[in-house]
Amino acid sequence: MKIAIIGLGYVGLPLSLQFARSGVSVLGLDIDPAKVEALNAGRSYIKHIASDHIAEQLRAGRFTAATDFSRVREVDAVIICVPTPLNRNREPDISYILDTGRTIAPYLRGNGAQPSPAKLVVLESTTYPGTTDEDLRAVLEQESGLKAGEGFHLAFSPEREDPGNPDSKVSIIPKVVGGYTPACLERARALYGRAIQTIVPVSSCRAAEATKLMENIFRSVNIALVNELKRVYAAMGIDIWEVIQAAKTKPFGYMAFYPGPGLGGHCIPIDPFYLTWKAREYGLQTKFIELAGEINTAMPEHVVHGVADALNARKQAINGAKILLLGLAYKPNVDDERESPSYVLMDQLKQRGAEVAYYDPHVPVIRPTREHPHWAGVKSVAWNRETISGFDLVLIATNHACVNYTELAAWAPCIVDTRNAMAGVETAPGQVWKA
């Protein structure tokens, strides 16, 4: 069997390697020639994916990468793993999905004028219910001249990647699958069953799309809850981290979530608003989702106020202060800084007159981004006493495990900790502030 996986980022590349390890011939397709060149040379551009793993599948002849989408003719199935961002108005942008559909549709017929055995097209990109069976289906049918469920099969299976988690392996994370027809579902179940241990079938593409949204809405709402409680408890002189540790000892009815300086990554800050947008078609409001978004979006400003309080206690102002932000990545132990609240923190601190730098061992230089192009090219500072002690304040935004927090306590005059990273580290009175 040969499959194509379109989009070789944080979702598509690990999925490609898992299928290849399972004996499936994988053609990785991407519009970025630099990614394709790196992969075909056996080089990884994602920190938690080892180059050796790529090189192994290349040598075995089970994986290759290309930019030529006409090669979809060669494969039995296509899995789409392209970005689904929000626009400036927090409205879904599914243009990458639709553009991909238009590109591959002419090649669903195979090499001749007559249809080849029906190919399977699976969308994995997170989106609102109805994207697969309405929007993507319409494009594929129009551009191919084939009918979904007959000339080609169509399904949705949400990605469940958890970068940086060593216990999160593609092969063991249950795979939710929904098909446009029962036959489509069976084809998708058979495909994923080659590489993934547990397949969870649902009744439709829409049910599968809704499943992914529910998972991330659940996380967004509960993170917002603890962020709000952090502020309330802080006003009462209560440490939210102590409360969470105590609450999580309850063996039932409670799941621990943790506060932070905001939300980041490609899922939690974005995915819930896909449902918010879609709900408007039905005349419905999603109040929990929108409130959670407001609370989480406001957290960077709350943290900056905490920075101001910490500096004021030392008879300093933010204006003119040298501030080091520790951790640019959106979560610990990864090199992914997409939608990271660290960018918002740096922007707000700079706007208030601070001299801002960052340290992140996983992100040595800031890559160009659409949202924060002005930070592109800025490099992480060095980790040594001379450098760190030269800052007036260190703001811990991401608690990477590889950071030596004992050294930080010895070198930094003032620390604002948003992640409870300094817990258990011996510090001077008044040196550490929680925000």
Cα–chain center distance at 201:
24
* Chain segment 416-431, per-residue pLDDT in tens: 999 999 999 999 999 9
Specify which residues 201 forms β-bridges with: 177
Among 234, 291, 236, CA closest to 259: 234
Number of H helices, E strands in the chain: 13, 13
Q: HSE on the CB side for 52, CA within 13 Å? A: 0
Integer angstrom CA distances of residue 354 from 299, 321, 323, 340: 19, 5, 7, 19
Confirm or reject CATH 3.40.50.720 for domain 272-434, answering yes or no: yes
Determine how β-strand 322-326 pairs with β-strand 355-359: parallel
> Helices 205-235 and 272-279: crossing angle, nearest 10°?
110
Can you give the pLDDT at residue 116? 65
Q: How far, in Å, CA of 225 to CA of 208, rounded?
A: 26
What letter represents residue 395's amino acid? L
Among 53-67, 156-170, 334-348, where is mean pLDDT lowest? 156-170
Residue 199 confidence class, pLDDT cut points 50, 70, 90: very high
Across 329-357, average pLDDT: 95
CA distance 119 to 237: 61
Residue 111, token pair as written in the block: 């090499």
Give the sign of the dihedral formed by CA 17, CA 18, CA 20, CA 25: negative
Q: 34-48, 109-123, 256-270: which has the minimum mean pLDDT? A: 109-123
CB contact set of 216 (below 8 Å; sequence gap of 6+): 126, 267, 268, 271, 272
Q: Which pair of structure tokens corresponds to residue 292?
A: 């959670």
Q: What are phi and psi of 178, to 5 degrees?
A: -130, 135
Average pLDDT of span 123-139: 97
pLDDT score recorded for residue 168: 67
pLDDT score at 287 = 95
Average pLDDT on 157-177 reads: 85
Specify the DSSP element, H or E, that contains 417: strand 415-417
| In the chain, domain spans | 2-203, 272-434
Is there a catalytic annotation at residue 267? yes
Q: How far apart are the first and last CA of the chain?
A: 53
Tens digit of pLDDT for each residue in 367-381? 888 788 999 999 999
E strand intervals along 95-237: 119-123, 152-156, 175-179, 199-202
How many other β-carbons are positioned within 10 Å of the β-carbon of residue 353? 11
pLDDT value at residue 265 = 75
pLDDT tier, 112 (very low <50, low <70, confident <90, very high otherwise): low
For 70-106, how does the pLDDT look when each residue is reduced to its tens digit (9 = 90+)?
Answer: 999 999 999 999 999 887 777 889 999 999 999 999 9
Q: Which of 81, 267, 402, 414 is catalytic?
A: 267
Q: Which CATH architecture has domain 2-203?
A: 3-Layer(aba) Sandwich (3.40)
Rounded Cα gap, residues 99 and 125, in angstroms: 13
How much is the mean pLDDT over the chain? 94
Which residues, other chains included, contact 366 with Cβ-Cβ below 8 Å and sequence gap of 6+? Answer: 328, 337, 358, 372, 375, 376, 377, 378, 379
User: In the β-sheet with 2-6, what is the strand arrangement from edge to edge?
Assistant: 63-66, 25-29, 2-6, 77-80, 119-123, 152-156, 175-179, 199-202
In this chain, the answer to whether the domains covering 2-203 and 272-434 adopt an identical fold is yes
pLDDT exceeds 70 at position 110: no
